[in-house]
Structure 1
Amino acid sequence: MEIKKVAVIGAGVMGAGIAAHITNAGIPVVLLDIVPEGADNRNVIAEGAVAKMLKTQPAPFMHKKNARLITTGNIEDNLNLIADCDWIIEAVIERLDIKQSLYKKLDAVRAEGSVVSSNTSTIPLHDLVSGQSEAFAEDFMITHFFNPPRYMRLLEITDGEQTRPEVVDSIRRFCDQSLGKGVVYCKDTPGFIANRIGVFWIQVAILEAMALGLTVEEADAVMGRPVGIPKTGVFGLSDLVGIDLMPHLMESMQRTLSKDDPFIEKSTIPELISKMIADGYTGRKGKGGFYRLNREGGQKIKESIDLQTGEYRPTAKAHLQSLSASKHAGLKGLVAHPDKGGVYAKRVLAQVLGYAASLIPEIADDILAVDEAMKLGYAWKYGPFELIDQLGAANFTELMESEGLAVPPLMQLVADGSFYRVQDGQLQYLDTQGIYQDVKRSEGVLLLSDIKRRSEPLLKNGSASLWDIGDGVLCLEFTSKMNAIDPDILKLIGESIPVVAKGHKALVLHNEGENYSVGANLGLLLFAANLGTWDQIEEMVEGGQKTYQALKNAPFPVVGAPAGMALGGGCESLLHCDAIQAHAETYIGLVEVGVGLIPGWGGCKEMLQRWITNKRRPGGPMPAVIKCFETISTAVVAKSAAEAKDSLFFRHEDGITMNRDRLLADAKARALAMAENYQPPEPIEIRLPGPTAKAAMEMAVKGVRLAGKATAHDVVVSMALAEMLSGGDTDITETLTEDDLLTLEREVFMSLIRHPDSLDRMEHMLETGKPLRN
């Protein structure tokens, strides 16, 4: 079954967000809601939801034009609009009677064989289909999205006894390939997987922090990065999702779980939290939460609540010896430390990881589903069973016993072994029978991590590696901190080109880091600048230019496969590829002006060439030069791969992959298709307006400066950029080669890096992570 059109019933935050994300896959959506009493516009709720999403940040739409794919209406007048929809998603209020009444209306008008699903996570599926037609029950399932639907990769699905298997297969495939979801099948139990464990984790962590007298900063510092959890920890996460949700979640679990479930014992809402909710301190959407921003007296002071007194005080950095121990000895060092941070980690992990182990096979058939759900739904770096392996299964069993907790059968089964192992290069997991099974990937999924388990790199240094990914295609992986481009990466690119050319078909630039690359290694650059080794810096700039040019002119196709941030020098590496196969969530831009520089590794040259040769641009070189100037001088960063095509960071014909796990396989396929009869690109020569264009850009910069939107050094950097993009002393009758453009780019870069204000910007960025407005 092919999904060509979708309906979403319920235009609240979740329903509207689901609708928006489906349009991100290019699929038209019908969005319906109720008619408010006395409303002049009967479609006001659905229309208002779309209008609001166009202004929301982070944006639910990957491109604003996707909003045009939504047809709005209401369930009284427009229910007929679902008649040609292949999938109908119900996302209305969590009341069984309302849902069941709606289902009967849907069943009367929906197409035969169309899928109906609910986004619920609190009402059992068998209750939802009770009293419905047999045909409806056969086409019904639960699809539980996480908020916000565009950014949270987890989709939990479950079916009923009557659900047709082909229905589940169709939705699973569509959500995986078209929506980019990590689809986890779970059993029809309260909270499914992620919220059953995740809400328990939040509740236990809050209660234990209060019991042990930790500050919110200390608790978040311990229950954050040392455990592989986002730095928000528990209290920051609670502020983010809304503290007022906690009573509703607890009530739902109390109502649906058996009375002997460990969750019930922990489901009490502390008095402090009840008072916070009553006073409007519900988190970021309210007046503040466990953290708040105090704006009294015109200042902005971040404050934290005292968990004992309920009073706010300035936020202070956590200083715990256990945090230092975790840096040296990992998770084992953290839980073994005797200070309150170590005790806190031990108590929370013993309860939460032990609870997760006790829930298999109740909530899922295997540990893979649980680990995947927590990583995708709560952004944990490691799943519960991966964390147990870090602690050592036998050690963790002793830890549970020391805390007076019952040891689950699964922990007895693993004994002193591990839940995961690598056998002959193959990752395996322990099943519920105590037998190791291969971790199998879906068709079309190729992970570099799997390749690295079973092979050795062809080339390697401290910042990059070259891997054989099969069928004559090699993959160059960045491995430096934050994948910052440094001399070692440039060196390995240079060394890789002859290796690929000698006996292989193509090269893919890809890594599985959080970000493809955050840019050039600014620390190395600043160090050299502070020493005044200008010749060495210029050699590095010229070396980067030559390396990227060699990549561009290689006798084989080069495909860039980025995900996450691709900034500065990382962006420039992609600009020199023959083609891009990008993950949909790629955030790309040339941001060098933020540190007082211009792109120096061919970024200016490539953008000029793209805009001037772009068939869709207005005529003449001047508009193209101005467009380049606007893009680079304002450090434009595309907030999706779709947006990146607007700024020509990506070409119109470049590919987009929705599911990150499928990115490498898609890039490899693209590279192989290009390898047949491949010819390197012909050198491009362009004409630039010279002083005429520079004068126009100077007027624009002066206007921005007079309006108070540009600093003094912004003007200096912008005019240096204008010098480069206009072509310097050239005029429209002269032809400029790529080497001419690179020479000019390098000269302008070197003039800026010598400027004291640029050095101040670089230093400030390294120290604070934020741009200096000087």
Structure 2
Amino acid sequence: MTLIEKVAVIGAGVMGAGIAAQVANAGIEVLLFDRPQSDDDDRSAIARGAVNSLLKSNPAALMSKRNARLITPVNTEDDLDKLDACDWIIEAIIEDVGIKQGLYRQLDEHRKKGSVVSSNTSTLRRQDLVEGMPAEFCQDFLISHFFNPPRYMRLLELVGGEETSNDLMSRVENFCDTRLGKGVVRCKDTPGFIANRIGIFWLQCAVVEAIDQGISIEVADAVIGRPFGIPKTGVFALLDMVGLDLMPHVLSSMAKYLEADDPFHKIYQEPSLIKNMIKEGYTGRKGKGGFYRLKPDNPDKVKEAIDLATGTYSKASRPKVAIVKKAGHKNPRKVLEDNSPAGRYAWSVMSETLSYAASLVPQVSEDIGAIDEAMRLGYNWKYGPFELLDQIGTAWFTEKLSDSGQSVPEFLVKAGSNGFYKIRQGRREYLSSTGTYSPIKSRPGVLKFEDVKACNEPVAKNPSASLWDIGDGVLCLEFHSKMNSLNLWTLGMMIKATTIIKESDYKALVVYNDGSNFSVGANIGLMAFAAKVWAFPFIDYMVRRGQDTYKTLKFAPFPVVSAPSGLALGGACELLLHSDAVQAHAETYTGLVEVGVGIIPGWGGCKELLCRWALAKDGPKGPMPPVSKVFELVGLAQVAKSAEEARDMKVLRSSDGISMNRDRLLADAKAKALELAENYTVPVPVEITLPGESGAVALNLAVEGFRKSGKATPHDVVVSAALSEVLSGGNTDMTQKVSEEDLLALERKAFHALCRHPDTLLRVNHMLKTGKPLRN
């Protein structure tokens, strides 16, 4: 199988540039093509401008700005000969079959034999794109539909043809899976493929029904969102993000290619309200606003919502929909059973959407797992349509469809009361299109935590954490408190894990969970409550308990591997720093952020990060430079925006691993733990040289300068002074060595003083109330 070692992207628009950025994030060279400029000085100015925009984009398209060096801007007139070095050519230009085919003929003249060519089209069928093209080109041509933005949206839909070899499909699939971090779903060559086929139907149905039933967009978003495991953006806020001006093109394309009897045609319309909004520049967030907008010429950023009947804007409300409050996000059936206007609206939208999904089997895919994955990864649904139907109850749903006079898809009848998924003999199975159940097969190198949990009981469990046996002598510690915050229950389970492993045949511990965020850190609500009732001894106990627990993990007689994804802040970052190794998902956002609530890291974070910088072979030399660097990182509450940036901060070491694909994270972490367990040796406590009082004075002078210029608040000065004393080593000088225990004692002293400060308590309470830091 030929490896993909160099890639070309044709089209340097938002999508093409984003794809090029993700290829570069994988460490792969990429040529970014666009049309030439007439300016002879820089004929590739358009592509070069796209690369410059990538460096400034927010959210960042590049995981490290260094990755931009892997992108070479070129143009389609002077540089097509460079295609002979590329293994994969991705076209990302306008959605026009004729224009695309004209480009393909040019590419076919210059590409090397056997190189893959693919289109990033979201709606056009492969059979139309290759019509009339040479047979050899058709054999090498695929559709590779990335979702926007390519770095963050995990779905990639892959479409081949009858003449496409399995070797070519596997080559691209494996590359996109392991190197680009994509959840690859193979789709049949049908309009809209899978995710957009269902997702566009859902969005269109929701808009049409809201207009017909007189439901406000705020109520619609509330009832269609969290109760069904759908992001809180719901429908209308999502359309604002996507862009209202894109929808007519997508809808017309779907209407053109779908069969005349497809249910989509019943809801296909472009309401006059939306036509007028687009005409007036209300195209969503990229325009003057959309269904939601910020009130014009108002400095207070008042959010307004449009009235679907009149087209006028008024202040957006946060509706208290009774049934949503009752159902929460765990009982969607309660919403569908409700006979209120909100409940009836939810039924009309979700019944049509879920029925539509069921009617598409096996037309779009034989595998309902692929359909569920497409909706999870492409639209950020927590549950795919068939997983959602199992939660609702397939028998109840089928009966209600029938009672409502709605058609019941044949595949839904096959599910009956058994549902679409089941566990048999310790294995998860899915309902196939034939009506029989087949085992769910994981890709090689993938270990699904949900499968482990579905087929086993935890080794130990408390309200905030659990221990699971993930095989081969490895235990997995899972957090499951609110937002995976850390508390005494969590710390207790860490200690329990060390005891179990030491007293059994287990070899290693992996810290992992399936949450969208690894952990937001220590539960500051406990600190706020304790301070309110003057229970400061409890706060002191929590600090020491955290330090002792992390020290126990660090010096345990077995390896501890943490596997974060998403946020790993504060105390969670300190856990990473105390682990023997970290296997991080590429999208890990970590840092020591405690100063935002008026405290400093108290569970050994200052100590560990300082030791890393002081002892790093590639770090700054001498006692003061490492102190200054850590003071900057902690004092400014810097957060790495990728695992690659976390390496730059030395929260991750060069020996730590990065998994591009979230689905591979647990298996990769387990493999790393087993590798370390083979010849494991307990780490030795270290000592470092620090500048002492003179260093603290220098740091404090710098902070005072920031205060005078208005860049630091009065309490920033207080917190920074406590931090500078810890990082400088307290009462020491450059002739002495400072131990880890010395630094832990300094952390405790500073933490104790700050948590009693009234301005710290103001910061903590403000953060709990608003979710934002207080600048006091």
TM over 0.5: yes
Percent identical pairs in the alignment equals: 56
Q: 522, 541, 550: which is aligned to 1:548?
A: 550
Q: Which residue number corresponds to residue 604 of structure 1? A: 606
Which deviations, in whole Å up to 9, do the C-alpha atoms of 1:452-490 show, x marking residues without a partner?
122222222111111111112111111111110100110
Distance 1:178 1:383 in 2: 25
Answering whether residue 657 of structure 2 is matched by residue 662 of structure 1, we say no
Q: Report if aligned partners of 1:350, 1:399 keep a CA contact under 8 Å in 2.
A: no
Which residue identity does 1:80 align to in structure 2?
D
Q: Report if aligned partners of 1:397, 1:411 keep a CA contact under 8 Å in 2.
A: yes
Q: Provide closer, same or farther for how the CA distance between residues 681 and 594 of structure 1 changes in structure 2, counting only shifts above 3 A.
A: same
SS in 2 for 1:475: strand
Answering whether residue 40 of structure 2 is matched by residue 10 of structure 1, we say no
Q: Which residue number corresponds to residue 272 of structure 1? A: 273
1:549-628 equivalences under 5 Å are: 549-628=551-630
Q: CA deviation at 1:338?
A: 1.4
Q: 724, 727, 731: which is aligned to 1:729?
A: 731
Q: Which residue number corresponds to residue 360 of structure 1? A: 361
Which residue identity does 2:269 align to in structure 1?
T
Q: 503, 510, 513: which is aligned to 2:512?
A: 510
Q: Which residue number corresponds to residue 500 of structure 1? A: 501
1:175-574 equivalences under 5 Å are: 175-327=176-328, 330-502=331-503, 503-574=505-576
Distance 2:303 2:259 in 1: 41
Distance 1:294 1:39 in 2: 45
SS in 2 for 1:261: coil
SS in 1 for 2:282: coil
Between 1:154-163 and 1:119-128, the stretch displaced more is 119-128
Question: TM-score if structure 2 supplies the norm length?
Answer: 0.98
Q: CA deviation at 1:295?
A: 4.6
Distance 1:395 1:505 in 2: 47
Distance 1:579 1:224 in 2: 38
CA RMSD of aligned residues (A): 1.3
Q: Report if aligned partners of 1:192, 1:363 keep a CA contact under 8 Å in 2.
A: yes
Between 1:606-615 and 1:675-684, the stretch displaced more is 675-684
> Any gaps of 5 or more consecutive residues in structure 1?
none
Which residue identity does 1:266 align to in structure 2?
I
SS in 2 for 1:587: strand
Distance 1:735 1:393 in 2: 68
SS in 1 for 2:463: coil
Q: Provide closer, same or farther for how the CA distance between residues 497 and 342 of structure 1 changes in structure 2, counting only shifts above 3 A.
A: same
Which deviations, in whole Å up to 9, do the C-alpha atoms of 1:164-190 show, x marking residues without a partner?
221001001111111111100111011
Between 1:321-330 and 1:669-678, the stretch displaced more is 321-330
Which residue identity does 1:14 align to in structure 2?
M
Distance 2:555 2:329 in 1: 45
Q: Report if aligned partners of 1:690, 1:727 keep a CA contact under 8 Å in 2.
A: yes
SS in 1 for 2:311: coil
Q: Which residue number corresponds to residue 762 of structure 1? A: 764
Q: Report if aligned partners of 2:226, 2:329 keep a CA contact under 8 Å in 1.
A: no
Which residue identity does 1:194 align to in structure 2?
A
Which residue identity does 1:482 align to in structure 2?
M
Which deviations, in whole Å up to 9, do the C-alpha atoms of 1:206-243 show, x marking residues without a partner?
11111221211111001111111000000000000101
Q: Report if aligned partners of 1:347, 1:403 keep a CA contact under 8 Å in 2.
A: no
Q: CA deviation at 1:425?
A: 2.5
Distance 1:81 1:437 in 2: 47
Q: Report if aligned partners of 1:186, 1:364 keep a CA contact under 8 Å in 2.
A: yes
Question: TM-score if structure 1 supplies the norm length?
Answer: 0.98
Which deviations, in whole Å up to 9, do the C-alpha atoms of 1:342-370 show, x marking residues without a partner?
11111101111111111111111121111
Q: Report if aligned partners of 2:222, 2:321 keep a CA contact under 8 Å in 1.
A: no
Distance 1:329 1:484 in 2: 20
Which residue identity does 1:319 align to in structure 2?
K
Distance 2:482 2:564 in 1: 16
Q: CA deviation at 1:769?
A: 1.1
Distance 2:208 2:453 in 1: 41
Q: Which residue number corresponds to residue 691 of structure 2? A: 689
Q: CA deviation at 1:260?
A: 2.0
Distance 2:51 2:39 in 1: 21
Q: CA deviation at 1:37?
A: 5.3
Which residue identity does 2:610 align to in structure 1?
L
Q: Provide closer, same or farther for how the CA distance between residues 37 and 261 of structure 1 changes in structure 2, counting only shifts above 3 A.
A: farther
Q: CA deviation at 1:495?
A: 1.5
Distance 2:334 2:299 in 1: 43
Q: Provide closer, same or farther for how the CA distance between residues 37 and 406 of structure 1 changes in structure 2, counting only shifts above 3 A.
A: farther
Which deviations, in whole Å up to 9, do the C-alpha atoms of 1:116-170 show, x marking residues without a partner?
1111122221222222222111111111000000000000001011112210010
Between 1:76-85 and 1:36-45, the stretch displaced more is 36-45
Which deviations, in whole Å up to 9, do the C-alpha atoms of 1:416-449 show, x marking residues without a partner?
2201111232111111111011111111001222
Q: Which runs of 4+ in 1 moved over 3 A?
A: 36-40
> Any gaps of 5 or more consecutive residues in structure 2?
none
Distance 1:337 1:768 in 2: 32
Distance 2:461 2:409 in 1: 44
Distance 2:248 2:380 in 1: 23
Distance 1:97 1:307 in 2: 38
Between 1:591-600 and 1:504-513, the stretch displaced more is 504-513
Distance 2:91 2:563 in 1: 35
Q: Report if aligned partners of 2:193, 2:364 keep a CA contact under 8 Å in 1.
A: yes
Which residue identity does 1:149 align to in structure 2?
P
Which residue identity does 2:432 align to in structure 1?
D
Q: Report if aligned partners of 1:29, 1:70 keep a CA contact under 8 Å in 2.
A: yes
Distance 1:761 1:328 in 2: 30
Which residue identity does 2:635 align to in structure 1?
S
Distance 2:34 2:386 in 1: 41
Which deviations, in whole Å up to 9, do the C-alpha atoms of 1:310-359 show, x marking residues without a partner?
11111111122221231397111111111111111111011111111111
Which deviations, in whole Å up to 9, do the C-alpha atoms of 1:510-559 show, x marking residues without a partner?
11111110000111111111111111211110011011001000111111
Q: CA deviation at 1:104?
A: 1.5
Q: Which residue number corresponds to residue 76 of structure 1? A: 77
Q: How many residues align?
A: 774
SS in 2 for 1:298: coil
Q: 755, 759, 775: which is aligned to 1:753?
A: 755
Which residue identity does 1:186 align to in structure 2?
C
Which residue identity does 2:683 align to in structure 1?
P
Which residue identity does 1:302 align to in structure 2?
K
Distance 2:485 2:551 in 1: 19
Distance 2:15 2:291 in 1: 25
Q: Report if aligned partners of 2:586, 2:659 keep a CA contact under 8 Å in 1.
A: yes
Which deviations, in whole Å up to 9, do the C-alpha atoms of 1:56-105 show, x marking residues without a partner?
01111111100000111001100011111111111111111111111111
1:90-105 equivalences under 5 Å are: 90-105=91-106
Q: Report if aligned partners of 2:544, 2:748 keep a CA contact under 8 Å in 1.
A: yes
SS in 2 for 1:54: helix
Q: Report if aligned partners of 1:253, 1:264 keep a CA contact under 8 Å in 2.
A: no
SS in 1 for 2:515: coil
SS in 2 for 1:638: coil
